Structure 1
Amino acid sequence: MKITAATVGAPCWVQLATVDPDAAKAFYTELFGWRVEEDPRPEAGGYCTLLLGQAPAAGLTPVQQPEQPTAWSVSFATKDADAAAAKVVAAGGRVLMEPSEVFDLGRFAVVADPAGAVFSLWQARAFDGQAVADEPGSLGWVELTTRAVHQSKEFYPRVFGWSVTVGEMYTQWGIAGRDFGGMADMADQFPDDTPPYWMPYFAVADVDRTAERAAALGASVLLPPTEVPDGPRLAVLKDQQGAVFGIHIAQAPA
């Protein structure tokens, strides 16, 4: 699916901060067929756009502080990053990086929900974000993993106006009549010191083959290819530097 403009409140960009950009470029270009385009401006700090064909699909940047972990992050589109950051605070969250200009591309802020799950806000100007979704090699889903399930059901709709669909095993987030993500309960499945986090899932043509290829390239398979009841076949992987992400079978167009 081609995207010509971001939907306000929906995920619009994912980016990887990594301790080894060169290794990450080699891994992800081989896994997803991405092409790397580095911003040549010195003040960009080595930021790269990862392209699927000609379409921006994700970003990649070196970590900015020594203590920063290698991880994927998710950005949500907003008309006004400052107003959205204020909503985050009013709903009990925190602003970790105040809204600031990114060249002429847009306005960006880093925030956290009340339980500590970190995400970003993007107010587009020259750059809307991803230009493709739900196709092999592009973002297909985002997922919050947290222990604060009930609190999150109140926080995110208050900030973004999301719909909440609660099933027996899983909660889904939606906006404008379309579900784009979900929420998993950490429960007792994670060590007590594991913080809540947002994670992207990328669509692929074949989950089993992609998981095998990722393992051959040095990734760890945290969740082997699995059929989800009433959902797609999926797997969860961790790259060599420690960034966790998911893959799921690309859905046929309706």
Structure 2
Amino acid sequence: MHEMPKGPGWLHWVDLASPDAATSKSFYCELFGWSVYTLTAPGYGDYNIFTLDDVHGPEVAGMQMLTDDSQPPSWTCYFRVDDLQGTVDTIVSQGGQELVPPTDWAGLADMALCADSQGVDFGIAKPGLIKGLGATNQPSAVCWVELAARDVSEGRRFYTEVFGWRATDRDYSGSVYTTWKVDDWSIGGMALMDDAWPSQYPAQWTPCFWVTDCDATAARATELGAAVGVPPTDIQPGRFSKLTDPTGAPFAVITPVRTPGPDQRSDPGR
């Protein structure tokens, strides 16, 4: 199994904003076999860390409570940078927005929340006590992140300018799919939101988790209160499904046809 490198431009962290911590903890721990522990920092409130297996296992995600009831439950993908403020300045200069300024979160990490030039939220981070995801590209861990965008040309331009990513296109069953690369390593993808996408579906970044049986996972997720957006479907990289958890946060799962690795030869994107 390949671990994602932890250099600039790479996925650093995924974070769930939930209106109901108890429901989210129960759902993801039941679905993926995760454990969870809570960090409490004065002035910052509680922050939950999901881990593989027991609480001493590697970190696979974080969770915080929604601070604004008007915001939808969601997953946020954070990408690593060396210069937090410099990257925020670049994001703004390229038509994006600073939503939450660079913040030292109790020494755990320095993070900022931004929006791209099409209004899609994402995060940037520098490691602190939390060095980043402790497990990737293995069952029950993130193996891919995907941007669904209305304008893929603008997406290519923006993220290339901000992170220096290189965009390569592939034809999957007549649909063009963009893979983001750092050097020759695949770090995520971008899908065009064409007329087949519901008009109310927001453009967004979505984490994709590796599961050993996509159909069984989707069925179990439904039993636990999730909704299925894209039923288990065979795509070139594997068997794939998009889901919405019981609080309303979208995520995806895939059973890859081959071991997904962050390299130029294979990726679990659509």
Corresponding residue for residue 25 of structure 1 = 25
The one-letter amino acid paired with 1:174 is: K
Give 1:204 deviation, angstroms: 0.8
> For 1:202 and 1:14, how far apart are their aligned partners in 2?
11
| Structure 2 residue 75 is the aligned partner of structure 1 residue 85 | no
> For 1:17 and 1:2, how far apart are their aligned partners in 2?
28
Corresponding residue for residue 6 of structure 1 = 6
Runs of 5+ consecutive residues of structure 2 not aligned to the other structure: 262-270
| Structure 2 residue 194 is the aligned partner of structure 1 residue 199 | no
> For 2:131 and 2:80, how far apart are their aligned partners in 1?
8
**Which secondary structure does the structure 1 equivalent of 2:82 belong to?**
coil
> For 1:111 and 1:45, how far apart are their aligned partners in 2?
21
Identical pairs, percent? 35
After alignment, is 47-56 or 176-185 more displaced?
A: 176-185
The one-letter amino acid paired with 1:227 is: D
Corresponding residue for residue 63 of structure 1 = 66
Give 1:4 deviation, angstroms: 8.8
> For 1:134 and 1:245, how far apart are their aligned partners in 2?
16
Corresponding residue for residue 133 of structure 1 = 136
Alignment RMSD: 1.7
Corresponding residue for residue 241 of structure 1 = 247
> For 2:99 and 2:216, how far apart are their aligned partners in 1?
38
> For 1:198 and 1:192, how far apart are their aligned partners in 2?
17
Runs of 5+ consecutive residues of structure 1 not aligned to the other structure: none
Q: How many correspondences in the alignment?
A: 253
> For 1:122 and 1:15, how far apart are their aligned partners in 2?
12
Corresponding residue for residue 96 of structure 1 = 99
Kept in 1: contact 2:41–2:106 (CA 8 A): no
In structure 2, the CA distance between the partners of 1:233 and 1:193, relative to structure 1 (3 Å rule), is: closer
> For 2:12 and 2:66, how far apart are their aligned partners in 1?
21
Q: Can you list the C-alpha shifts for 1:6-63, whole angstroms capped at 9, x where unaligned?
A: 2210111111101111001000000001101101334332210000131000001110
| Structure 2 residue 197 is the aligned partner of structure 1 residue 190 | yes
> For 1:181 and 1:157, how far apart are their aligned partners in 2?
13
Kept in 2: contact 1:78–1:122 (CA 8 A): yes
Q: What's the TM-score, normalizing by structure 1? A: 0.94
Q: What's the TM-score, normalizing by structure 2? A: 0.89
> For 1:191 and 1:246, how far apart are their aligned partners in 2?
17
Give 1:253 deviation, angstroms: 7.0
Kept in 2: contact 1:3–1:130 (CA 8 A): no
Aligned mate of 2:215, from 208, 225, 229: 208
The one-letter amino acid paired with 2:177 is: Y
> For 1:33 and 1:105, how far apart are their aligned partners in 2?
24
In structure 2, the CA distance between the partners of 1:71 and 1:253, relative to structure 1 (3 Å rule), is: closer
> For 1:155 and 1:133, how far apart are their aligned partners in 2?
26
Corresponding residue for residue 167 of structure 1 = 170
The one-letter amino acid paired with 2:144 is: W
> For 1:162 and 1:146, how far apart are their aligned partners in 2?
16
> For 2:231 and 2:260, how far apart are their aligned partners in 1?
26
Kept in 1: contact 2:4–2:137 (CA 8 A): no
Kept in 2: contact 1:45–1:62 (CA 8 A): no
The one-letter amino acid paired with 1:44 is: Y
